[in-house]
Amino acid sequence: MGTTTGATTAQNGEGLNNVSLQARREAAVPRGLGISTQIFAAKAEGSEITDVEGKRYIDFGAGIAVLNTGHLHPKVKAAVQAQLENFSHTCVQVTPYESYIRLAERLNAIAPVRGPAKTIFLTTGAEAVENAVKIARAHTGRPGVIAFSGAFHGRTLLGMALTGKVVPYKVGFGPMPADIYHLPFPIAYHGKEVADTLEAIETLFKSDIDPNRIAAFIIEPVQGEGGFYQAQPELMQGLRAIADKYGILLIADEVQTGFARTGKMFAMEHTGVKADLVTMAKSLAGGFPLSAVSGTASIMDAPGVGGLGGTYGGSPLGCAAANAVLDVIEEENLCQRADELGELLVRRIKELQATNLLAGIIGDIRQVGGMVAMELVSGGDANKPDPDLTRALVARAAEKGLVLLSCGVRGNVIRFLAPLTTSPELLNEGMDMLGEALRECVAERTTA
């Protein structure tokens, strides 16, 4: 009886605290699973999280861009509950179900790809990337893949090889798969222009690999983990032209940017360019594990029967949730709300940037819809990133009740990913916390 009561208490979060759970985590979980806060969640709804000690937090991270529709959106929750009344799993490769087909049809109609489309569902973003590369290789008969510096495409062996950041993703995990190449991602703030990247492609073709051995380019329309740098339309147009010239496919990794986050359903819509294959995950299913690859039908059909799949791919619960997510995005006009959210955040960040205490601290501010970032630097110098201040700000914000995420190859970017359903009042409350935390961190450094 006592054991059962203890288990129930632990499940409910009663009698637990963050310190004891952190100690248990360190003893039970490998250190390779890093965490950005020591806040242990007990409940979440909308844009707020309550920890096991009953403290409330405003969530500016959304589970790393998974919750564009917020925690437990009522419509998503209801759809999953209804599906649970029928079945939780059959494996779509054994006994398929209508919700999978319906979701594929809906994504085929809106995916930013050329011509009639087809879609396969998987479980994680990395799995979507792996399958997109498999499909590209099957269609072209070529092995090579070109990715970009600062990219993040997952932690599986191929995803890790495609990722353009060594620490912490690649250290100690080599050797990497062959025929993966990286090009510089153009970032004007750091003096890297589109022309430099396009020239680097031609140099690569002359010095390292015949373009006729390249299956695909893979690129994030807005880099996620890399720092929220947007791929300029001229870059995408240049890649499309080079891809078409040499028979190379263009894969758009929309795992973090998809589903209204950038003010469009997909970030590729900002570029005027269509891809051949698009990877999706994160906010596709409002917190339930589901990913997808959508692409031109003739390309998607390249692998033979049985060449694609996975036991849990396109789970019934995930498909039910995703169909509800698409409804919510349309009914609540989340693309427009993403723009409004982003504009509010940028205005508040600029107000901080203009204060005397923070002069030269906040460098570049970037916004694509509700995908917002600020870069922390020393003395206003883009070449002097300040990762120490960035880490301190994330920790201090958590103390005040705000969940923040950092990113960037140099570890000095704060990224804002609040659910698109967040009210202006809650956004402003969160920004008040952020401003207070940042001023305290800078003041403490000044007096130290």
Domain ranges of the chain: 36-69+333-447, 75-331
CA 394 to chain centre: 18
> How many Å apart are CA 409 and CA 428, to the nearest integer?
28
- Per-residue model confidence as pLDDT tens digits over 79-88: 999 999 999 9
pTM: 0.95
Q: Are strands 249-253 and 277-280 parallel, antiparallel or unpaired?
A: parallel
What distance in Å separates the CA atoms of residue 49 and residue 231, rounded to the nearest whole number?
33
What type of residue is 157? L
Phi-psi region of 412 (alpha: psi -120 to 50; beta: other; left: phi over 0): alpha
Residue whose C-alpha is closest to residue 233's, from 368, 96, 32: 368
User: How distant, in Å, are the alpha carbons of 139, 147, 159, 253 from that of 162?
Assistant: 19, 6, 5, 11
In terms of phi and psi (left: phi > 0; alpha: psi -120 to 50; beta: otherwise), the region of 13 is left
Spell out the residues 6+ positions from residue 250 whose beta carbon is closer than 8 angstroms to its own.
Answer: 216, 217, 219, 239, 240, 243, 273, 275, 276, 277
Yes or no: say if 344 and 434 are a contact pair by the CB < 8 Å rule. no
Q: What is the spatial distance between Cα 319 and Cα 325, in angstroms, rounded to a whole number?
A: 10
State the Cα–Cα distance between residues 385 and 93, nearest whole angstrom: 49
How far is C-alpha 9 from the geometric centre of its chain's CA atoms? 34
Quick: pLDDT tens for 33-65.
Answer: 999 999 999 999 999 999 999 999 999 999 999
What tokens does 271 get? Answer: 């570029």
- Dihedral sign from CA coordinates of 234, 237, 239, 241: negative
Closest CA to 349 of 404, 269, 400, 296: 404
**Which residues, other chains included, contact 441 with Cβ-Cβ below 8 Å and sequence gap of 6+?**
389, 392, 393, 396
* Gap between the Cα atoms of 34 and 48, Å rounded: 22
> Helices (DSSP H) in 269-386: which residue ranges?
297-300, 316-331, 334-353
Radius of gyration of the chain (CA): 22
Output the pLDDT for position 447: 82
Is the fold of 36-69+333-447 the same as that of 75-331? no
Cα angle: 285, vertex 271, 222; to 5 degrees? 55
Rounded CA separation 345/359 (Å): 18
Question: Does the 75-331 domain belong in CATH 3.30.559.10?
Answer: no
φ, ψ of residue 91 in degrees (nearest 5) = 75, 115
Query: Cα(323)–Cα(82) distance, rounded to whole angstroms?
Result: 13
Question: Which residues pair with residue 71 across a beta bridge?
Answer: 46
Quickly name the fold that domain 36-69+333-447 has: Aspartate Aminotransferase, domain 1 (3.90.1150)
Both structure tokens of 155: 């932690």
Structural contact between residues 184 and 192, judged by C-beta atoms closer than 8 angstroms? yes
Looking at residue 231, the DSSP 8-state letter turns out to be: P
- Note the pLDDT of residue 14: 61
> Residues for the chain: how many in total?
448
Contact between residue 254 and residue 267 where contact means Cβ atoms under 8 Å apart: yes
Distance CA 49, CA 40 (A): 10
Residues of the chain falling short of pLDDT 50: 1-10
